[in-house]
A and B are shown apart, each in its own frame.
Chain A
Amino acid sequence: MGDSSDEEFQNSESWVFYRNRDDWKDVEPVEQEDGGEYPVVSISYTPKFKDVYDYLRGVMKIGEKSQRALDLTADAIALNAANYTVWQYRRDILKELKSDLAKELKYIEKVIQRHCKNYQVWHHRRVIVEWLQDSSKELKFTQGILVFDAKNYHAWQHRQWAIKTFGLYEGELEYVDSLLRDDIRNNSAWNQRYFVINNTIGFVDDVVSKEVEYVLEKIETVPLNESAWNYLKGLLLHDKGGLSNNVKVTTFCEDLYMSGNRSPFLLALIVDMCDERISNKAEDDKYNLKRASELCHELATTVDPIRCRYWEYMSTTISKKAGCESGEDAEGGDGPEEAAAAGASHDV
């Protein structure tokens, strides 16, 4: 389960147990109190782990906030960086001692590099940046993490927070673009593109138009790339004509279909276009119930059979909608919670 290497990472030869340190004689170690006589999810701690945490409990019990207590929290964190209590206590000490926060930022940088998929470490960094009111290192720092894992959720979350809080949008679209040139399937990068535009210029008409061109070009390169299709649908949320009235998009889709391409995302989008026209009572010879049914059938049987139940459901739903307006609202009287529970019941 991962983190045990940290113990080896620290120089174990020079390690002195807290219980053997003269300058800690005044602190009473406190053992963990597990309750009953039988072990319950009892972890076989190493002697070092037990020693550090016994002293940490001792320090917290008397509420000591000192430099040596701060150093002790670092030892505890090195043994388990996911212990939010230790982090919280560390912040209490930092506040009390009015510690050098620039130094703390360097410290947390190192910890994150070793534990980059942990909520606590990123939260700590965010708090320190907030205290410092200095966001100058955040873009470069998160970029460094994303070099190793371009989809690290925590890194993206921290980056979005810094960008939004401190207004660091400049250059971000170029960065996203470079990530997409590296990996056109990087969905986190597509999401970031949406985030930047949504929070800056907004999806006004000519932005939508330019972005549609951008994404269609990407789809043309890799028509099976779900990320790009999803982005396209996201853009069309902002198109006043809806999904099915953007000539650039409809022409592109029809040409792609005519060329013989059967990307499930292409067929799905045409189904959605038909669906929209049916809802708006604006069917024409291209987007209509008959075509929707045929495409759903094609998806369910040959193009996307793993989702056959879904495509059958879509076909029925769209047909119902075409037949009677209130089809979609014709639901039973069960509360959703009861219905959900019933849905999960077994027909034994």
Chain B
Amino acid sequence: MMANMRPFRDLVANQYDEENNKTHSSKEQIDVEKSVLNMYESAHMKITLNRNLPRLATNAHMDFIRDGLTQLPHSYSCLDASRTWLCYWSLHSMSLLTDISKTWPLNKEESMIVQFLSKCQHPSGGFGGGPGQYPHLATTYAAVNALCIIGTQEAYDIINRKTLKEFLYSVRAPNGAFRMHLDGEIDVRGVYCALSIATLTGIYSEKLFDGTAEWVVSCQTYEGGFSGCPGLEAHGGYTFCAIAVLTILKRPKLCDLHSLLRWLVNKQMKLEGGFQGRTNKLVDGCYSFWLACSVLLAGVALGEKKMLFNQTALQEYIMVCCQYNSGGLLDKPGKRPDLYHTCYTLSGLSLTQTNSDYIGIPFYLGFINPLYNISYEKVEIMKTYFKDTKDETL
């Protein structure tokens, strides 16, 4: 349990070497390293006074999330079309932070969330980002995940699986890719959301995902990671979607796993300890999940069950650099916390606890299924429920 952090002098020695070639990328990187080093320096000083630091400020984060789950300031208006996401980010963060020994969750509030989500369901199938909005794959994914976390029969039963299936077919492209919504854009997110939705709610069929694995593999780039669409640059978020899809479809070996793994591990920053999302870009707390989880999935596909990224360094980054004083977690020092970053830094943090020493985290965070980023048991319960529910209309 004792803090086992990298010595400060090692961090200093890891500073960026510009090699006499100053560019925009190197300047940005050096600025971030400065602010990160400041955080580490004061953390190391505090540790000499209090050996129990750093600590995960569980209560403060819980308050931040709870506030978000009920009432948000008007600055969240730009997420008015992503409110099912706000539900999922909050619920998942809370389930991670809730000691499994304590009772989870909130009973009456749960039912309110279910009623709200049912208002987001569209008559033609799928869920929109808010009441009355058109259905969209990402907001449907978030709604289904939120309902899975709530995990009550009431939650399951609001899902109209017949129209949901029709919606999935309506956004399927002939080559096995998926549009985000009717006449919307195509990218790897669509495939991942569709497959996650279909497998959780028991409406998966081979026909629905015919050609999908091949299309996803066409998004692997020469760097090893995956891009949103064929030809684009390898990117952490899309890479998670791609490797999760190939894993769920039981075809991970269709891609080049060795070059994928190399690219993934190289995205971990040697000073910061967190991950960048693309080559030569900056560290960001949310990639703690997208990248670390992809390392896990690529490792498993290669028959390796040990985590092949540096868990201690990632923990340090999240614990020291991503916690906001008054609650919530964030991208990097200097940024404000938000529910998205809170969800994905905490999810990443839970991956650093697997088979590993951990620093300053008072308990094991919830135990996640890496393919869905929902607790393992919740996924099983939902899948079983829908497997046993024979719906004549499907």
Interface residues, chain A, with chain B CB atoms under 8 Å away: 1-4, 30, 32-46, 49, 57, 60, 79-85, 88, 91, 119, 122-123, 126-127, 150-151, 153, 156-157, 160, 164, 182-188, 191, 194-195, 198-199, 221-227, 230-231, 233-234, 237, 268, 304, 306-310, 313, 328, 330-332, 335-337, 339-348
Contacts and interface: CB of A to CB of B under 8 A. Distances in A.
A76 to B, nearest CB: 10
B23 A343 contact: no
A342 B228 contact: no
Given A41-B86, A150-B24, A187-B278, A306 B78 contact: no
- Most B CB contacts (10 A, CB to CB) among A34, A40, A82, A151 go to A40
Given A57-B132, A191-B221, A307-B310, A41 B77 contact: no
Interface string B51-73: 00000000000000000111111
A330 B68 CA distance: 48
Contact of A34 (B116, B248, B273): B116
B78 A3 contact: yes
B83 A41 contact: yes
A157 to B, nearest CB: 6
B309 A310 contact: yes
B77 A3 contact: yes
A40 B69 contact: yes
Given A123-B185, A185-B23, A335-B250, A40 B112 contact: yes
A346 B364 contact: yes
Contacts of B185: 119, 122-123, 126
Given A35-B119, A344-B369, 20 more contacts: A40-B113, A41-B87, A41-B116, A42-B72, A43-B76, A43-B77, A44-B72, A44-B74, A80-B77, A82-B79, A185-B280, A187-B279, A191-B223, A191-B232, A224-B17, A230-B223, A309-B307, A309-B309, A343-B370, A345-B376
B301 interface: yes
A45 B74 contact: yes
A255 B336 CA distance: 47
A231 B305 contact: no
Interface string B114-130: 01101100000000111
Contacts of A3: 75, 77-78
B222 A230 contact: yes
B131 A306 contact: no
B251 to A, nearest CB: 9
Nearest to B120: A35
A342 B234 CA distance: 28
Interface string B280-298: 1100000000000000110
A306 B113 contact: no
Contact of A346 (B90, B221, B296, B353): B353
A32 B80 CA distance: 11
Closest 3 CB pairs of A and B: A234-B222, A185-B25, A331-B303
B222 A340 contact: no
Nearest to A235: B222
A58 B21 CA distance: 58
A183 B25 contact: yes
B71 to A, nearest CB: 5
A119 B21 contact: no
Interface in B99-142: 109, 111-113, 115-116, 118-119, 128-134, 136
A340 B370 contact: yes
B69 A41 contact: yes
17 contacts: A35-B112, A43-B72, A43-B77, A60-B132, A80-B77, A84-B133, A84-B184, A151-B278, A183-B24, A227-B280, A234-B221, A307-B310, A309-B309, A313-B308, A341-B370, A343-B296, A346-B353
Nearest to A61: B132
Contacts of B181: 84, 88
Contacts of A41: 68-70, 72, 83, 86-87, 90, 116
Contact of A83 (B21, B80, B371): B80
B106 to A, nearest CB: 11
Contacts of A122: 185
A183 B232 CA distance: 19
Interface stretch (B166-174, B201-209, B211-219, B264-272): B264-272
B34 interface: no
B305 A339 contact: yes
B35 interface: no
Contacts of A308: 310
A343 B133 contact: no
Nearest to A347: B355
Contacts of A57: 132
Nearest to A53: B80
Interface in B1-55: 14, 17, 19, 21, 23-26
Contacts of A34: 116, 119, 131
A337 B247 contact: yes
A308 B312 CA distance: 12
Nearest to B109: A38
Contacts of B302: 328
B75 A4 contact: yes
A88 B310 contact: no
Contact of B81 (A84, A224, A237, A307): A84
A337 B75 contact: no
Contact of B280 (A39, A91, A187): A187
A164 to B, nearest CB: 7
B231 interface: yes
Interface string B320-358: 000000000000000010100000000000010111000
- Most A CB contacts (10 A, CB to CB) among B80, B118, B281, B369 go to B80
- Most B CB contacts (10 A, CB to CB) among A2, A84, A304, A341 go to A84
Interface in B158-181: 180-181
A79 to B, nearest CB: 6
Given A33-B131, A88-B182, A306-B268, A1 B338 contact: yes
B132 A195 contact: no
Contacts of B392: none
A157 B229 contact: yes
A156 B232 contact: yes
Given A43-B72, A185-B25, A227-B279, A85 B128 contact: yes
Given A88-B182, A344-B354, A33 B222 contact: no
A341 B232 CA distance: 30
Given A40-B87, A185-B25, A191 B296 contact: no
Given A156-B233, A185-B26, A80 B310 contact: no
